[in-house]
């Protein structure tokens, strides 16, 4: 299994070869029917179940190395596989196989006065490069989403999950082979050489159409900085909840608590609470005390600090910080306009929420806040492809090109125009 690692082949040549194989596989996948793709996914799921012991053995190599290297417990936990986690991956592949096939779907069709019939039809993007941290399950998720959407994938996981990723990847090969699809449809970069990432960011001689980074800010930042091909990503999720004077406190407080505390480590978790200075007095106090009582550290401006001694002072830096922890910054703003301005200055165009019963104010917020997802009276933690009904997502994008918000199988497609005529020529 370690032959390639030991041999240390010329990484540039290796990656160029991977790119060419991916391109060839993409051409085949583009014309695969949904039965073939779904059979490969179900085959991979069956293979995961059949190989639990082998996968756990490979995973143990990674886990013990990580422990020896003194990696933090949270890191080791994300790396660790169990029979339950492998079953969850298999079930995930089956769920993705059950999604509608986006490829070939007619997005729009119309007829011209000269009787030409024009149809806009979804096609795969081509080859997707996925660069991720040492989380074995991403190998399964990302490979499956790309395959379902008819795209070949080149997966490069964190080096500390290398053995686990290889064992999982072997299941894709089995599934693809059984479905008579090219094994290169899902490739795992077979080296831990970091130069391989640089090659992917340069696009493997035009073979890679888009890069999806999955991981923390340093990984995504490097990819966004260096990639010479399009990237679907978000650097951070500095999500705001704005508590308007028109909010219904009974509905609003649970949404604030859920936005911040349901899970603090996800990108849709709220990081800043903005409170309307014009709100009835009880609003501020109720919101802040509920957060504090829920175990959340609150860093407030001067006005917020007056509410409770437990509130710590916020610094300028706090307004631009993604805590990913049970900490929230809180600030008074003079109505929705100032809330919108604050979000424009400090936000990350990810997900922002307004709490109000005043629909005019909500409309203003929803239209002016320039984020991929804007919510009215609902938790920011709904920022998720599954919660949107997309089935599964490969990530959330905050760019404005092509994909924005949750990136599911539809967002991993392009389209073409099919024009049907009966001998029409274009007049002068």
17 binds a second copy (CB under 8 A): no
76 binds a second copy (CB under 8 A): no
Of 34, 85, 222, 376, the one binding a second copy by CB under 8 A: 376
Q: Where does this chain touch a second copy (CB under 8 A) — which range of 190-198, 315-323, 330-338, 417-425?
A: 417-425
Place of tokens 């709490």: 355
List the beta strands (DSSP E) in 215-350: 239-243, 270-276, 297-300, 312-313, 327-333
Q: Give yes or no for a contact between 354 and 242, defined as CB atoms under 8 angstroms apart.
A: yes
Q: In 3D, which of 2, 22, 19 has the Cα closest to residue 11? A: 19
Structure tokens of 287? 């919101």
375 binds a second copy (CB under 8 A): yes
15 binds a second copy (CB under 8 A): no
8 binds a second copy (CB under 8 A): no
Based on CB atoms, which residue is closest to a second copy, 26 or 168? 26
Q: Where does this chain touch a second copy (CB under 8 A) — which range of 72-80, 130-138, 328-336, 382-390?
A: 382-390
Based on CB atoms, which residue is closest to a second copy, 49 or 415? 415
348 binds a second copy (CB under 8 A): no
295 binds a second copy (CB under 8 A): no
Question: What is the distance, to the nearest Å, from the Cα of residue 59 to the centroid of all Cα atoms in its chain?
Answer: 24
89 binds a second copy (CB under 8 A): no
2 binds a second copy (CB under 8 A): no
Residue ranges in 27-66 that form contacts with a second copy under rule CB under 8 A: 27, 30-31
425 binds a second copy (CB under 8 A): yes
Based on CB atoms, which residue is closest to a second copy, 133 or 236? 236
CB of 107 to a second copy, least distance (A): 10
Of 53, 54, 98, 418, the one binding a second copy by CB under 8 A: 418
Nearest-5° angle of CA 173, CA 179, CA 184? 40
The CA distance from 361 to 366, in Å, is 9
| Dihedral sign (CA 256, 340, 394, 389) | positive
125 binds a second copy (CB under 8 A): yes
The CA distance from 216 to 233, in Å, is 11
Based on CB atoms, which residue is closest to a second copy, 329 or 351? 351
The CA distance from 115 to 104, in Å, is 22
The burial of 95, by beta-carbon neighbours within 10 Å (0-12 exposed, 13-18 middle, 19 or more buried), is given as: middle
CB of 62 to a second copy, least distance (A): 28
**What stretches of 113-248 show up as alpha helix (H) in DSSP?**
136-148, 162-178, 195-202, 217-226
Per-residue x/- track, 182-221, a second copy (CB under 8 A): ---------------------------xx-----------
377 binds a second copy (CB under 8 A): yes
Rg of the chain over Cα atoms, rounded to whole angstroms, equals: 24
**How far apart, in Å, do the first and last CA atoms of the chain sit?**
65
Based on CB atoms, which residue is closest to a second copy, 68 or 84? 84
370 binds a second copy (CB under 8 A): yes
342 binds a second copy (CB under 8 A): no
DSSP single-letter state for residue 356? -
Based on CB atoms, which residue is closest to a second copy, 84 or 428? 428
Residue ranges in 94-123 that form contacts with a second copy under rule CB under 8 A: 104, 110, 112, 116, 118, 123
Q: Give yes or no for a contact between 121 and 104, defined as CB atoms under 8 angstroms apart.
A: yes
374: how many CB neighbours lie within 10 A of its CB?
18
24 binds a second copy (CB under 8 A): no
Based on CB atoms, which residue is closest to a second copy, 165 or 328? 328
Residue 240, C-beta contacts closer than 8 angstroms, at least 6 positions apart: 270, 271, 272, 273, 274, 339, 342, 343, 347, 352, 353
Q: Does an H or E element contain 61, and which?
A: helix 52-68
Nearest-5° angle of CA 88, CA 94, CA 98? 140
**Quick one: angle between helices 34-50 and 162-178, nearest 10?**
130
Of 223, 311, 381, 392, the one binding a second copy by CB under 8 A: 381
CB of 158 to a second copy, least distance (A): 27
**Quick one: angle between helices 281-293 and 249-261, nearest 10?**
30
Per-residue x/- track, 230-269, a second copy (CB under 8 A): x-----------------x--xx-xx-xx---x-------
* Site for a second copy, rule CB under 8 A: 27, 30-31, 104, 110, 112, 116, 118, 123, 125-126, 209-210, 230, 248, 251-252, 254-255, 257-258, 262, 344, 366-368, 370-379, 381-382, 384, 387-389, 400-402, 404-405, 414-426, 428
């Amino acid at each position: 299994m370690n032959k390639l690692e030991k041999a240390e082949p010329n990484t540039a040549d290796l990656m160029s070869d991977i790119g060419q194989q991916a391109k060839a596989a993409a051409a085949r996948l583009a014309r695969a029917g949904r039965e073939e793709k779904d059979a490969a996914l179900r085959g991979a799921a069956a293979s995961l179940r059949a190989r639990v012991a082998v996968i756990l053995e490979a995973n143990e190599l990674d886990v013990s190395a990580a422990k020896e290297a003194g990696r933090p417990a949270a890191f080791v936990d994300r790396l660790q596989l169990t029979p339950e986690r492998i079953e969850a991956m298999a079930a995930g592949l089956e769920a993705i196989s059950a999604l509608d096939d986006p490829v070939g779907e007619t997005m729009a069709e119309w007829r011209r006065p000269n009787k030409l019939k024009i149809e806009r039809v979804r096609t795969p993007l081509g080859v997707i490069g996925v660069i991720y941290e040492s989380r074995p399950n991403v190998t399964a998720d990302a490979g499956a989403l790309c395959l379902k959407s008819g795209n070949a994938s080149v997966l490069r996981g964190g080096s500390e999950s290398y053995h686990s990723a290889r064992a999982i990847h072997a299941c894709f090969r089995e599934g693809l082979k059984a479905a008579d699809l090219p094994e290169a449809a899902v490739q795992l970069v077979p080296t831990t050489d970091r130069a391989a990432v640089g090659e992917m960011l340069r696009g493997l001689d035009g073979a890679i159409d888009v890069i999806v980074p999955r991981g923390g800010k340093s990984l995504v930042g490097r990819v966004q900085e260096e990639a010479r091909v399009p990237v679907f990503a978000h650097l951070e999720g500095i999500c705001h909840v704005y508590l308007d004077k028109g909010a219904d406190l009974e509905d609003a407080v649970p949404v604030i608590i859920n936005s911040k505390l349901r899970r603090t480590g996800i990108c849709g978790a709220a990081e800043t609470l903005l409170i309307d200075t014009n709100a009835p007095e009880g609003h501020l106090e109720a919101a802040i005390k509920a957060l504090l009582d829920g175990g959340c550290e609150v860093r407030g401006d001067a006005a917020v600090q007056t509410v409770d001694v437990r509130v710590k002072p916020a610094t300028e830096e706090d307004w631009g910080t993604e805590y990913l922890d049970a900490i929230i910054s809180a600030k008074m703003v003079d109505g929705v306009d100032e809330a919108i301005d604050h979000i424009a200055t400090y936000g990350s165009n990810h997900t922002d929420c307004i709490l109000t019963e005043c629909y005019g104010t909500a409309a203003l917020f929803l239209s002016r806040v320039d984020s991929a997802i804007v919510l009215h009276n609902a938790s920011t933690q709904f920022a998720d492809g599954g919660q949107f009904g997309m089935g599964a997502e490969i990530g959330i994008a905050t760019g404005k090109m092509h994909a924005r918000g949750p990136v599911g199988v539809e967002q991993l497609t392009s389209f073409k125009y099919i024009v049907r005529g009966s001998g029409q020529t274009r007049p002068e």
